[in-house]
Chain A
Amino acid sequence: MSRQLFARTPGLKDTVTTYCSGCGHGVAHRLLAEAIEESGARERTVAVAPVGCAVYGYDYWNFDTTEAAHGRTPAVAAAIKRVLPDRLVISYQGDGDLASIGLAEIMHAANRGDRITVIFINNTNYGMTGGQMAPTTLAGQVTTTTPLGRDSATTGQPLKVAELLATLPGVKYAARGALHKPGLVRKAKSLIQKALAVQEAGLGFSVVELVSLCPTNWGLTTLQSVELVEKQIVPVFPLGVFKDESGAKAE
């Protein structure tokens, strides 16, 4: 007697990943796809893919997707939502896209309370272009553009997006999760589910920041990357729910 324990979600296409070994995007994609599929919204979802590694999100997501110019992802998503207010609109962004070039767009979409859900992948660097410093890069972290480690005296401190956005009244849900442990993966899914529910209830802007892994650009194995996230990144980017005005009790 055999029993199927795990299967592809209909929210994802039946394809092979081209993301790097150990990359967090695959897990994040699956969590988003599962949450959308399980809420019954897959056929009325429109997603916006960023410039960065996750531009290829549409190779995996089994729902309508458009690209956006670098950082303009929330502006594109906000307009889609205003044209199609009964659809579920997702803006999926990395840290270069959201926290650097697109900071104006994310702040104003959040401040307007645009009824979109932002999935923000924080892996402390620009992945697609080979690992440059991002606004989220840790102090002292070596990247291709901080060969001696990020000098906070001249390049600033890691930008804490979830906490920053949580200060804005238009934001009804802001949380940070992580993807490096099974328990945290399950927790991250519940954060995404809550964020989607906030949008579906028409409450306002919701964002889930996910601390992700980038073994390739970090120059580490996947296991070493898990350790780096646990010991160095999560202490700088604490996990938790920074704002929940969904009206329901947080888990």
Chain B
Amino acid sequence: MSAPMFMKGNEAMAEAAIRADCRFYFGYPITPQNEVPAYMSRRMPEAGGTFLQAESELAAINMVFGAAVAGARAMTSSSSPGISLKQEGISYMAACELPGVIANIMRGGPGLGNISPSQSDYFQATRGGGHGDYRLIVLAPHTVTELAELTMDAFDLADYYRNPVMILGDGLLGQMMEKVEFPEPEARRRTGLLRGRPLPPKDWALTGAQGRPPRLIRSLLMQPGVLEQHNFHLAEKYARIERDEPLAEVIGCEDADVVLAGFGTSARVAKQAREMLRARGIKAGLFRPITLWPFPYAQLAAIARTTRRFLVVEMNLGQMIEDVQLAVARERSLKDATIALLPRPGGGVPVPEEIVDKTLEVLR
């Protein structure tokens, strides 16, 4: 671990990317993630890397595409409206099996929305987002240190699976300053989401066909059946990710009468609410998925074996709740379960007291 530092989430994410050997960052201004390009513009040259302010989010994600084509670790960041614009490029990256990291520091939507923290891009992030059958690995940190750690992991998982990885944060996490400790990159590769697995060589990257046949990176597959086979090939990769990568933090669910479920910032607030409930003698647990795709269905289903009441806290109108329902339904009939929602859309952020009140209502 590094010495503790006091940083904004956005800056810690940028620093973690550089520590994870990201040397190419392409961005475009949008609040509340502007600290990322600002930090990168200063730090990348020091690190021998390249910062480029793109002319649009479209250009930025396609620059990530190009840098990945050439074999580099590359990143872009944006916030909800800008992430919508990047969907085209993300689809192409998934199709071409190009690694890359995209951070979405979410703000309120739809449309231009506002610049308050939000989690309303859950569906977009976890279901692919752009056109075609594809998936992103989606990581949801809830503290600045975890944001730094998962940013480092994101580059490793992207390279390991040759797949784009999204860091799904929100304006609160991006703007908040708190203590952050950066893991040593080599140690993190052993203890983090990569779990010490060796990274495959980039023997597909375009570097000039010196002493070898030309390489080709494409997503246009017009010959009959070839695209269908490519989709099945991607599906096989996604199945491996679903088998090996789901991760959640689970607290106090063994004896729980009710389990609070949420990700990112709303889970952080729910953590405090859970402690307040326990202090009042209410057996409350917490389920916090760290990987949103693949969603930790099995871990939640195991909780549903002994718990039938859930309160899903989301800074949206209720998106992750559908995955909670899918998970609980693996273990018990939904008729026999209570899956309540505390929704805070449009930039609303829950406070612990309202989660406590809603939990008491669910238990009544």
Which residue numbers of A lie inside 8 Å of B, CB to CB? 42-46, 48-49, 55, 58, 61-69, 72, 75-80, 82-84, 87-88, 104-105, 107-108
CA distance A80 to B207 in the complex (A): 9
Interface centre among A72, A78, A79, A84 (most CB of B within 10 A): A79
Contact between chains at A64 and B55 (CB < 8 Å): no
Smallest beta-carbon distance A29→chain B, Å:
14
Contact between chains at A42 and B67 (CB < 8 Å): no
- Chain B residues with CB under 8 A of A76: 62-63, 65-66, 69
Question: How would residues 184 to 224 of chain B score, 1 for a CB under 8 Å from any chain A CB and 0 otherwise?
Answer: 00000000000000000000001111110011111110000
Residue B275 at the chain A interface, CB threshold 8 Å? no
Q: A46-B70, A82-B50 are in contact. List 16 more A-B contacts (CB 8 A).
A: A46-B206, A63-B208, A64-B214, A65-B206, A65-B217, A66-B96, A66-B218, A68-B65, A69-B89, A72-B62, A75-B54, A75-B59, A75-B66, A79-B74, A84-B207, A104-B55
- Chain B residues with CB under 8 A of A107: 55
Interface centre among B74, B211, B220 (most CB of A within 10 A): B220
- Chain A residues with CB under 8 A of B58: 72, 75, 104-105
Contact of A55 among B59, B209, B220 (CB under 8 A): B220
- Chain A residues with CB under 8 A of B66: 48, 66, 68, 75-80, 83
Contact between chains at A78 and B63 (CB < 8 Å): yes
What are 16 of the A-B contact pairs (CB < 8 Å)?
A55-B220, A63-B208, A65-B215, A66-B69, A69-B92, A75-B60, A75-B63, A76-B62, A78-B52, A79-B52, A79-B67, A79-B69, A82-B67, A84-B70, A87-B208, A104-B59
Smallest beta-carbon distance B262→chain A, Å:
35
Contact between chains at B207 and A87 (CB < 8 Å): yes
CA distance A105 to B64 in the complex (A): 14
**In chain B, residues 59-96, which have Cβ atoms closer than 8 Å to a Cβ of chain A?**
59-60, 62-67, 69-72, 74, 88-89, 92, 96
- Which chain A residue has the least Cβ–Cβ distance from B93? A69
Which residue numbers of B lie inside 8 Å of A, CB to CB? 24, 26, 50, 52, 54-56, 58-60, 62-67, 69-72, 74, 88-89, 92, 96, 206-211, 214-220
Smallest beta-carbon distance B129→chain A, Å:
14
Smallest beta-carbon distance B330→chain A, Å:
38
Contact of B62 among A65, A68, A83 (CB under 8 A): A68
- Chain B residues with CB under 8 A of A108: 54-55, 59
- Chain A residues with CB under 8 A of B63: 75-76, 78-79
Contact between chains at A67 and B24 (CB < 8 Å): no
- Which chain A residue has the least Cβ–Cβ distance from B210? A43
Contact of A80 among B54, B56, B69, B219 (CB under 8 A): B69
Q: What is the interface of chain B mostly: helix, strand, loop, or mixed?
A: mixed
- Chain A residues with CB under 8 A of B89: 69, 72
CA distance A104 to B60 in the complex (A): 12
Contact between chains at A58 and B209 (CB < 8 Å): no
Contact between chains at B62 and A69 (CB < 8 Å): yes
- Chain B residues with CB under 8 A of A75: 54, 58-60, 62-63, 66
- Chain B residues with CB under 8 A of A72: 58-59, 62, 65, 89
- Which chain B residue has the least Cβ–Cβ distance from A83? B70
- Chain A residues with CB under 8 A of B211: 43
Contact between chains at B208 and A84 (CB < 8 Å): yes
Smallest beta-carbon distance A72→chain B, Å:
4
- Chain A residues with CB under 8 A of B67: 79-80, 82-83
Known: A64-B208, A76-B66. A83 touches B218 (CB 8 A): no
Contact between chains at B55 and A105 (CB < 8 Å): yes
- Chain A residues with CB under 8 A of B24: 79, 82-83
Contact between chains at B59 and A42 (CB < 8 Å): no
- Chain B residues with CB under 8 A of A62: 209, 214
Interface centre among B52, B62, B92 (most CB of A within 10 A): B62
CA distance A75 to B26 in the complex (A): 10
CA distance A48 to B218 in the complex (A): 10
Contact between chains at B70 and A79 (CB < 8 Å): yes
CA distance A63 to B210 in the complex (A): 9
Contact between chains at A69 and B210 (CB < 8 Å): no
- Chain B residues with CB under 8 A of A64: 206-209, 214-216
CA distance A42 to B66 in the complex (A): 19
- Chain B residues with CB under 8 A of A77: 66
Interface centre among A49, A61, A84 (most CB of B within 10 A): A84
Contact between chains at A43 and B216 (CB < 8 Å): no
Smallest beta-carbon distance A41→chain B, Å:
8
- Which chain A residue has the least Cβ–Cβ distance from B66? A79
* A-B pairs, 8 with minimum CB distance: A79-B66, A44-B208, A76-B66, A72-B62, A83-B70, A108-B55, A79-B63, A64-B206
- Chain A residues with CB under 8 A of B92: 67-69
- Chain B residues with CB under 8 A of A43: 208-211
- Chain A residues with CB under 8 A of B218: 49, 58, 66-67
Known: A58-B216, A67-B218. A46 touches B207 (CB 8 A): yes
- Chain A residues with CB under 8 A of B64: 79
- Which chain B residue has the least Cβ–Cβ distance from A13? B214
Known: A64-B215, A72-B58, A80-B69. A44 touches B210 (CB 8 A): yes
